[in-house]
Structure 1
Amino acid sequence: MKITAIETTRLKSHPNILWVEIHTDAGITGLGETFRGAEAVETYIHSMAAPLLRGQNPLDIERLHKILLRGYLGFNGSGVETRAASAIDIALWDIFGKLTGQPVYQLLGGACHERMRTYNTCAGADYNAKAVQRRLVQAGAGKARGRYDDQVAFIESPAELAHSLIEEGFSAMKIWPFDAAATATDGQYVSAESMRQGLEVFEKIRLAVGDRIEVMCELHSMWNVTSALSIARELKQYRPFWAEDPVKMDSPGALADYRRGAGIPVCGSETLAAQGSFRDHLAAHSLDYVMLDLSWCGGLTEGRKIASLADAYQKPIAPHDCTGPVVLWASLHLALASPNAIFQEVVRAFLATFYRDLVTELPVLEQGFLLRPTAPGLGTELAPAVKADPEAVIRRTELS
């Protein structure tokens, strides 16, 4: 079997997402996806990656992974080269599954879990909708716009939000009430008023539902170590499940300093790429939970190595998804095949809205758990309406 063409698709309505389809002479097409910098990744795929795939066997996944991810550029960051390699790698695994008639998790060694526990990242449907930055919500934003405007809800009505999630079967939620404060000071200090406002969100949730739901605190790498520690010491009383990306994740030593003083578990990081970055953090004892994004770290091939590395350090993993539905599918397969996976992130607002329009099938979410898929490959395809969109940008490079 040979790779005959590579095709990319992006939509102006979802400018962050790029879909990659790899075509073969066997009539099997694999689907991949990456996020942010979609136009730049598209250009790189057609100008640089496509010639490297010409005439290649799509089942030589590890070899092609090495060529694309460990080339001269991109191997030590999550930039354009790595994002392109990630999307292509996911598509190759999709081909492998379709050829063998097996779900991808089976090809990764088989399922370790009957189903995968999720937590809801409390974003709204338009979170990450802009090409450059995510939506920022501050106190006084007003009422939530509908049931799933969770980013406004966790600021304005956190108790009601927690009850809503519990009613749907979720046992964990993630919020980021300190982001506006970090934006105001560039993360250099946190005022007493901002500290109180951020902590009130956690307090209201605990008073409303007690310990019936776990609460993660996302800090988006926006703080310096001193300020992040100040937040952690006050936050500890509300028993957060973890503090995620409290500082920039480019210094394992700085994060280790934070972890020693914080007194709460540390999760990181969707921003890290390739196993070497995770190795350095694990060796520095800076992480309690390992989060990885398959569209940024090197795809499923690199993701399973990172999961195994975390397992060697006896650390659980929780794959990231706040990006696109294909990566959610790939992440679910990795989580199901990883003995140390404890969560798969989901955004219920995405699942209930635009994700439905982008792919033919979504993972089945049932009472806070994602069920094991049975279809071969990833289990989904691009929805026909995506390419039929008059503003779709479709590029195809023939490789035969």
Structure 2
Amino acid sequence: MSRITRLRTIRIAERPNLIWLEIETDEGLVGLGESFRGAHAVEAVIHETVAPFLLGRDSRRIEAISRHLMTPYLGFHSASAEVRAASAVDLALWDLAGQRHGIPVHEALGGAVRTEVRAYNTCAGYAYNSGLSAGGGRRAVAAGEAMRGPYDDQIAFMSDAGKLAESLLSEGYTAMKIWPLDEYATASGGHLITLEDLKAGLEPFRKIRQAVGDRIEVMAELHSLWSAHAAIRICRALEDLGVFWAEDPIAKMDDARALADLRRQTRTPICGSETLGGSVPFRDLLAADALDIVMLDLAWCGGLTEGRKIAALAEAYAKPIAPHDCTGPVTLMAGLHLALHAPTAIFQEVVRATLATWYRELVTDLPVLRHGMVQAPTAPGLGTKLQDSVRTRPDAVIRESTPG
């Protein structure tokens, strides 16, 4: 047996969207999980709903635990607080499984298909997606804002995208993702983009092509900000720029009919969606022929257990997958293990600004990149732990659940 004896959540005020979960067992092992957005809500679900069910159970029964937590009375088939909590639990259980057997998670999943996977750099900055702004934490860039360091890439793509592409190529990256069209959605609530705004939003893509030609792949992030009509106009305009994908182009990424209709009207490949929870929405999108590339976030979709089912669906439909991370370091490590294991994985998302700075302050180990390729971790489990200093921070909030 490997009985679960304690659940511990940790969050810090500096990164209010992030929450970590440590699961302890009577073997003396500690598994680490993570989720992102609505940390207070996830914390409540873990201690008030999950803990009474989980404490005392055998941590080796990952599939059974996942099935129970992924079918709550409310909150299933979405990235709800219930599913985000289930995701954190599942990542911690897989971490435990790898540690117990002394093998990395990609081996515990059934083995690696590849020993490295290509990275693309999401061109966020040092503070992107870390706060509690009205945009859910996505930090807007003011006109003329100065860069706060060499990797303030969101400011860079708005000011000189060509120079940014050259910088990325010099470090071995061969793919990048930008979102210069976001600022034009507010005026109409995403229902209309004018020709003037469209041309302005496409300019960074043109500067990249002018600077480096076809030596770098470019992804267009649309952040679910647009109606179908506006998204079609944007995706058609992107066709001649050779973008690798348009990501989350419409407001409701579980709307299989609308997304399939959009995909029929453009040659730009459609990618989606980190925002979906559980395998059923992905099944419906794939069955509707609505996606070219499957993106999933293991801290939101149900963890590795559900993630590999989504990957299997993608494989059955001959679609590539690309695990998401613009959120936290444990999610990044988990996504990497899936990207190494899943046959159709083509990319692992990274943010070089966070890899170089605050991710390092939170965990002991991060993925190793060589020439734009992310290397397979070799340590048991997920291959990383929280830094001891995280628990002793003055802004840390720690909550525990134990039997009785």
TM-score, normalised via structure 1 length: 0.98
Alpha-carbon displacement from aligned partner over 1:336-378 (angstroms, at most 9, x marks no partner)? 0011000000000110110000001111112211111110000
CA contact 1:62–1:301 (8 Å) conserved in 2: yes
Q: Which amino acid aligns with 1:32?
A: G
C-alpha distance in 1 between matches for 2:141 and 2:260: 30
**Following the alignment from structure 2 to structure 1, what is the Cα–Cα distance between the partners of residues 53 and 84?**
16
Q: In the alignment, what sits opposite 1:399?
A: 403
Structure 2 Cα separation of the partners of residues 255 and 137 of structure 1: 29
Could you tell me which of 164, 167, 170 is aligned with 2:170?
167
User: Which residue in 2 is equivalent to 1:299?
Assistant: 303
Local SS of the residue matching 1:291: strand
Q: Map residues 156-195 of structure 1 onto 2, 5 A cutoff.
A: 156-195=159-198
Quick one: distance in 2 between partners of 1:38 and 1:399? 23
Give 2:204's match in structure 1, choosing from 190, 194, 201: 201
Local SS of the residue matching 1:330? helix
Matched residue type, 1:17: L
Partner residue, 1:265: 269
| Deviation beyond 3 Å, 4+ runs, structure 1 | none
Q: 2:363 is matched by which residue type in structure 1?
A: V
Give the letter aligned to residue 275 of structure 2: T
Distance 1:206 1:81 in 2: 43
1:250 alignment partner, SS class: coil
Q: Which amino acid aligns with 1:185?
A: S
Contact 1:53 1:399 in 2 (8 A): no
Q: Is the partner of 2:340 in helix, strand or coil?
A: helix
Q: Which residue of 1 aligns with 2:13?
A: 12
Q: Secondary structure at the match of 2:323?
A: coil
- TM-score, length-scaled by structure 2: 0.97
* Alignment map for 1:39-58 (pairs within 5 Å): 39-58=40-59
Aligned-residue offset at 1:143: 3.4
**Deviation larger for 191-200 or 9-18:** 191-200
Q: What amino acid does structure 2 have at the position aligned with 1:243? A: A
1:286 aligns to 2:286 (yes or no): no
Q: Which residue of 2 aligns with 1:385?
A: 389
C-alpha distance in 1, partners of 2:331/2:259? 27
Cross-structure match for 1:70: 71
Q: Secondary structure at the match of 1:262?
A: coil
RMSD: 0.9
* Native 8 Å contact 2:254 2:285 kept in 1: no
Asked if structure 2 preserves the Cα contact closer than 8 Å seen for 1:137 and 1:180, the reply is no
Q: Does the Cα contact within 8 Å between 1:6 and 1:399 map onto a contact in 2?
A: no
Residue aligned with 1:256, SS: helix
Identity %: 57
Query: Which letter maps to 1:294?
Result: L
Q: Deviation per CA, 1:124-153: give whole Å up to 9, x if none.
A: 010012123311225x33332221100010
Q: What residue is the counterpart of 1:37 in the other structure?
A: 38
Whole-Å Cα distance in 2 between the matches of residues 317 and 250 of structure 1? 17
8 Å Cα contact 1:20-1:33 kept in structure 2? yes
Q: Cα deviation per residue 1:233-265 (whole Å; 9 max; x = unaligned)?
A: 111111000000000213100000110112110
Matched positions, count: 399
Q: Which amino acid aligns with 2:160?
A: S
**For residues 195 and 268 of structure 2, what CA distance do their matches in structure 1 show?**
21
